[in-house]
Amino acid sequence: MTFFALLNHALGLLLPALGVAAVLMLLPRLWPRARKGRWKPKTEAALLVGSGSLVLLAGLVVFGRDGKMLTYAALVVVVGTLAWWNRRQSGR
């Protein structure tokens, strides 16, 4: 396997985590009354993408393959809960 093929597979595995994190970071910024998170945007992005990547890697290890719907459901639950907790803890 070439380096570019490996990079393509790694990006394909981790792209859902990046997409969910991007949606959960950008959507609250569209509402003017939305609470600000207590983390800086770079920290929030790193934690959301990191936790999502860990969930996807755990799903790969547990099921032996990528793309299981249960893994994607766990991704949404974990990253969504973390984003909610960040905004909930900020308090105005």
Tens digits of pLDDT across the chain (92 residues): 899 999 999 999 999 999 999 999 988 888 877 778 888 989 999 999 999 999 999 999 999 998 899 999 999 999 999 999 998 865 55
pTM, to two decimals: 0.87
Give residue limits of the domains in the chain: 3-90
For residues 55 and 79, is the Cβ–Cβ distance under 8 A?
Answer: yes
